[in-house]
Chain A
């Protein structure tokens, strides 16, 4: 949705489930993206709990988890959403005078717009929703309600199993062949697939070192660091500014992705593009690990046309630095703005290979997979 179009924004506000005040000091370049005041959102939504009788509690719970940041990462968010939809379908009963297909689709759409209000959809979630809606639309009319509901729940289970859980296992097997003894592997932020790869390679007995690169404001790498250390991997932790210092000892870079677009651009956590660029400059291979359900037929040239804006107070506030923090009450000053980008687009020339459940492919083969295999999962 275009947030620079005032008419549409007003219309969507009327339909909105909870009140979200827009951020006052918005960066001009990103006027087309939603930017909200983050302080009051969670309390507002929690207060509305008893009023939202049209909202299924499972969906409400997932929405709150998204808003609070408890569930992060493309796979986790997608699985949480699909499980919530499973509960919705199980509890669903067709109202008199309406068909199951149309009514259920409308319900799912309204839940999806609620989830979008909590946090904009990731591309993996978008694909999953499209799959869901197409399964509902393709239901044979001869099925009774219970049979239809069972079929849909079954489909969701198969989707999660085949497209996410099994796909991860295949990716891990493929990627572990790319880890040799004596390697120094670099990863950025925290990707669940990359973590699985590192732990699996360690279990296979390969001797390697890991470099975890992290950045503000989320410091997601610290959680990954803790889990790797617990399993006994030797780790080096550094900040994204030091990536050019550390890159001369790195042999491979493993990165996760939120999505891979049809022009080979990788859409992932902000900072991934910097890491891939430096790796390319030092001639270190960059391997993106991404399940095939995250591929998308959209194309994107830069990180500005489509992105997600986070809380600007996260940038203004620096933990543990009172001299710098005198700024955090100034987020609404006219001249001073804070920009918290969540994603960025890595150009395809920086990526050596993408490891998916369909195999190891170059970035140029992504539209081929989208075209050839898109039909397949619609036919599950």
Chain B
């Protein structure tokens, strides 16, 4: 266990110091770390799954606290917890199959209708009718619960080692998915890009690059306008890479996106995270681009992988999930150091420099999500949340002590 703690602190410090950045990198590292956690976990004979869940959750809280803005960490943690719960309760579905109960219904949580609705639909794969079932439950509370706890104890005792090996297999599949999500996304390029298309993008995203290169390999010819995406200027990096692959790339400034959008067929962008309502947290400047695309009725396509899918709803959009970057990226400190003194008399600086890293784009402005499991409209995202996450793992309420 001290071994695991060292690994966890190592990753947490890397996250805190922003040495690890980008949803792909953080997702992969988090998944590998959680795999190691599960591997080394010594579980008790009964209720091994609950202790495993507790261990993973503790590690997850540490990692999330290190970099709250990097949502991929939380996503992977919750995904792994979901996998544990699924693997854990899958034999139950055989036993109580006749009652057609959903496996996710923990006995204690019967009262939560909405949760059972969402989770029941997923794990069984068939749409059940929870209200009727709940009525059944209410009429036969004792016998049903007694039956469940009895059978679950038996199952847990017998399963022990088998649970762990199943989990390791599932988490390895998850890591594999993270590594190969690009292929799934790139396959769909042919369905969306036609000949002589003009595409506009902003900044740099690996998925967008794979998407465009895949279309190019299939001999579609098109040109790409790239807005450079200040203050990171990653658009230049994307332009260089596309140029190497033989794609026609034209670099424009961010201020020119409205001017150019009338001649563009499609906007394709990569984002930082996809929220549960279908909105996205994207690099700064994408809200402006989305508004311009809406005005000209240009399809706004977001390319994302499933590990960027987050089960949070954005309530206080611009502020809570945003990160302020260094002001020196905008203003040269040496040139403006004299201006900073102007406010001494009033005891507050006259000059403030604002450099947010992210923008929130509401779901109304997005036409399509291209993910490694297919293309979806923003209204479907909440369903995907249910596929990958369990309701019990949604962000914990702030305990008064913490």
Contacts and interface: CB of A to CB of B under 8 A. Distances in A.
Given A273-B259, A302-B262, A338 B251 contact: yes
B253 A215 contact: yes
Contacts, number: 183
Interface string B267-305: 000000000000000011101100110010000000000
A27 B255 CA distance: 18
Contacts of B355: 238-239, 242
7 contacts: A216-B253, A237-B331, A277-B258, A278-B288, A302-B263, A323-B237, A341-B252
Nearest to B251: A338
Contacts of B254: 215-216, 239-241, 271, 274
Nearest to A302: B262
A302 B263 CA distance: 9
B251 A229 contact: no
Interface string A212-255: 00111100001001100110111111111111111010000000
A233 B356 contact: no
B250 interface: yes
Nearest to A237: B353
Max chain B Cβ within 10 angstroms of own Cβ: one of A226, A274, A302, A307: A274
Given A225-B336, A241-B283, A242-B284, 9 more contacts: A239-B254, A244-B318, A274-B255, A303-B262, A321-B233, A336-B250, A339-B256, A341-B253, A341-B260
Interface stretch (B26-34, B131-139, B144-152, B223-231): B223-231
Contacts of A222: 331, 335-336
Contact of A245 (B253, B318, B343, B350): B318
A240 B331 contact: no
Contacts of A315: 228, 251-253
A327 B240 contact: yes
A304 B259 contact: yes
Contacts of A240: 230, 254-255, 285, 288
Nearest to A228: B350
B175 to A, nearest CB: 30
A337 interface: yes
A153 interface: no
Contacts of A230: 339, 342
- Per DSSP, chain A at the interface is mixed
Nearest to A325: B236
A347 to B, nearest CB: 8
A229 B351 contact: yes
Contacts of B246: 335
B291 A281 contact: yes
A273 B257 CA distance: 9
Contacts of A125: none
Interface string B378-392: 000000000000000
A304 B262 CA distance: 9
Contacts of A351: none
Contacts of A243: 288
Given A216-B228, A235-B350, A241-B284, A338 B250 contact: yes
A344 interface: yes
A239 to B, nearest CB: 6
B331 to A, nearest CB: 6
B295 to A, nearest CB: 7
A340 interface: yes
Given A236-B354, A274-B258, A318-B236, A245 B359 contact: yes
Interface of B: 225, 228-231, 233, 236-237, 239-240, 242-243, 246-260, 262-263, 283-285, 287-288, 291-292, 295, 318, 322, 330-331, 335-336, 339, 342-343, 350-356, 359
Interface string A333-353: 101111111001100000000
Contact of A277 (B237, B250, B295, B351): B295
Contacts of A246: 354
B350 A336 contact: no
Contacts of A307: 259
A243 B284 CA distance: 9
Contacts of A242: 284-285, 354-356
Contacts of B239: 327, 336
B251 A316 contact: yes
A50 interface: no
B137 to A, nearest CB: 47
A298 B301 CA distance: 36
Contacts of A339: 225, 250-252, 256, 260
A240 B354 CA distance: 11
Interface string A281-319: 100000000000000000000111001000000011010
A335 B259 contact: no
Contacts of A321: 233
B322 A245 contact: yes
A256 to B, nearest CB: 15
A234 B350 CA distance: 4
A156 interface: no
Contacts of B250: 27, 336-339
B332 to A, nearest CB: 8
A287 B60 CA distance: 50
Contact of B256 (A214, A237, A271): A271
B230 A215 contact: yes
B258 A273 contact: yes
Contacts of B252: 315, 338-339, 341
Contacts of A335: 242-243, 246-249
A324 interface: yes
A333 B248 CA distance: 10
Contacts of B231: 239, 241
B255 A215 contact: yes
A75 B250 CA distance: 32
A214 B233 CA distance: 15
A355 interface: no
Contact of B253 (A234, A244, A340): A340
B291 A278 contact: yes
A239 B339 CA distance: 18
A312 to B, nearest CB: 9
Contact of B233 (A234, A324, A340): A324
Given A270-B253, A274-B292, A339-B250, A333 B259 contact: no
A333 B354 contact: no
B252 to A, nearest CB: 5
A281 B236 CA distance: 29
A238 B324 CA distance: 12
Contact of A236 (B243, B283, B291, B353): B353
Given A315-B251, A336-B249, A336-B251, A229 B259 contact: no
Interface string A88-123: 000000000000000000000000000000000000
Contacts of A204: none
